Amino acid sequence: MHTIVYVEIFIYLLAMLGVGIYFSKKDLSHNDYFLGGNKLPGWALAFSERATGESAYMFLGAIGFIYVAGLSGIWILSGMLLGVVASWLFLSKRFMTEQQKYKVNSLTDYIAVKFPKHADIIRWLASAVMVLFFVCYLAAQFSGMGKTIYSFSGLNITWGTIIIGAIIIAYSCMGGFMSVVWTDTIQSFLMLISFIIVPIAAYMEIQHQGLSISTELANMGNGADSWVGGLNGLALGAMLFTNLSWFFGWLGGQPQLSSRFMAITTEKERITGRNMAIIWTLIVYVGAFLSAIFASTLYKQGSIEDPEMILPHMVFEILPPWVAGIIVAGILAAIMSTASSQLLVITTSISEDIIHKTLRWNVSSKKLVHLSRLVAVISGIVGIIISLKSGSVIYNLVSFAWAGIGNTFSVVILLIFFWKRVSGIGVIATIVVGFISAIAWSLSPMEAIVSAKAATFFICLIVGVIVSLVCPDKEQEQIKV
């Protein structure tokens, strides 16, 4: 491996650590630590939201899936794109105004203050569910880091995971939301550059070798050259519904994303962020899809032991070392941005929602920041341990967490935003049923027919509506919008 690659990766990691050190020297209040204290520009929050939303899943899991599936893999990205656009168009403004109205620092806290009679149990339940699923989500990111480091350096996956994990824990716990957003912004630019360079370079390589994309896809078999995977009837409907079901998880239920909306200060900043986020997503998703399809053309199935590592493999084969180093930094950026945000969600759930708001520990703002840093370190270490012990692939871990968190809390948020009759008991029932159904459905034979990412959303929606109608709140029990 060329020295320049190591130098570029080292500079990138040093820069991320430097941002954390810079903000650790600031006199941060707990509002600054958890939500940026309304001091961050809309464009930075947009780039942070996008970098956080795309993770090891995009660079490794999704590209690996499309590399194997062929053209039909586009439906996964289509579902995600629809979700991203919907969240910025229809939910971002509501999140911004609601945060300014209630002065909350987390998604859990917002849900709780809407139902004061049930606030404590909502905080306990929501925080417990988020911590459980986000530890799995965090482990998926750490797993992706270890694989990526191994792919270009040969460094033992365990040591690669520990080293990069330690850097993420360090800058996240030092600067909290402030350092996470600014590191995300840098990482977002790296991701954008990566998905512009890679498909162009891959297409040039295809032309150089005189290959035919359509022919190679046809030779793959299993409907790889068909936009619907060669399916029809019920099988086609199930495939489309399952892949498009990623849409539901974007509808306000991901706390690491909704916190970016909550941190926006003005309508002008929100519109700027919305436009940048949608353009960024279009470029990255198109680039990711083309990269995977071009990889299917260049590398026959089975030539790569782990399909999730096809992108790093292709990058080092077709790009000059100094460019490959930038792309690898982009892959690490995607993983690190998501991991740091997920770590912050876990930290906020424990220190702010449970210790500060539910247990009502009477501590100063500065002591709460110190406590949050300690929680971040412990949570990060637990995530690393689970990552090293888990044999699950990135796609499965992310899909599992997506159903448990995104779908469950998307239903809660949509009901609160758009249905005045939702009750505190209805919200509690939705969270409990979402937690149980995500696990039970993922482990049942039904998962092979309809993904838990779709099933959980509709199960939660039905339960939330029925229980709210059966057990309505009295007028004074819910704070009206």
Per-residue model confidence as pLDDT tens digits over 203-236: 999 999 999 999 999 999 889 999 998 888 888 8
Contact in structure between 189 and 332 (CB atoms under 8 Å)? no
> How many angstroms separate the CA atoms of 452 and 1, rounded?
41
Query: Residue 21 and residue 14: Cα distance in Å, rounded?
Result: 10
Euclidean distance between CA atoms 293 and 289, whole angstroms? 6
Residue 419 phi, psi (nearest 5)? -140, 110
Nearest partner of 424 among 15, 50, 113, judged by Cα:
113
What is the percent of the chain where pLDDT is above 70? 96
Which pLDDT score, from 0 to 100, does residue 481 have?
43
Q: Is the pLDDT score of 349 beyond 90? A: no
Residues with Cβ < 8 Å from 470, sequence gap 6 or more?
Answer: none
Residue 480 has pLDDT above 60, yes or no: no
Whole-angstrom distance, CA of residue 82 vs CA of residue 410 = 14
Radius of gyration of the chain (CA): 22
Lowest-pLDDT range of 385-399, 420-434, 460-474: 385-399
Q: Answer whether 357's CB lies under 8 Å from 109's CB.
A: yes
DSSP type of residue 212 = -
Quote the DSSP letter at residue 437: H
Least confident among 52-56, 64-68, 87-91, 342-346: 52-56
Q: What is the pLDDT of residue 397?
A: 58
pLDDT band at 475 (very low <50, low <70, confident <90, very high): low
Q: Output the pLDDT for position 304.
A: 87
Of residues 437, 453, 85, the one with CA closest to residue 245: 453
Nearest alpha carbon to residue 84 among 346, 380, 406: 406
Sequence-separated contacts (24+) of 116-122 with Cβ below 8 Å:
116/477, 116/478, 116/479, 117/424, 117/473, 117/477, 118/424, 118/425, 118/427, 118/428, 118/477, 120/358, 121/428, 122/424, 122/427, 122/428, 122/431
248 CB-near residues (< 8 Å, 6+ apart) = 83, 406, 407, 410, 453, 454, 457
Question: What does the alpha-carbon distance between residue 267 and residue 106 come to, in Å, rounded to a whole number?
Answer: 20
The 10s digit of each residue's pLDDT in 395-444 is 465 666 777 888 899 999 999 999 999 999 999 999 999 989 988 888 88
Domain extents in the chain:
3-391
Both tokens assigned to 264: 């926006």
Greater confidence, 27 or 446? 446
State residue 242's pLDDT score.
Answer: 81
Tell me, which fold does domain 3-391 have in CATH? Answer: Sodium/glucose cotransporter (1.20.1730)
Query: What is the total residue count of the chain?
Result: 481
For the purposes of burial, counting CB atoms within 10 Å of the CB of 212, is it exposed (0-12), middle (13-18) or buried (19 or more)?
A: exposed
Mean pLDDT (whole number) for 135-145 = 79
pLDDT at 303 over 50: yes
Amino acid identity for residue 451 in this structure: S
In 3-state terms, what secondary structure has residue 257?
helix
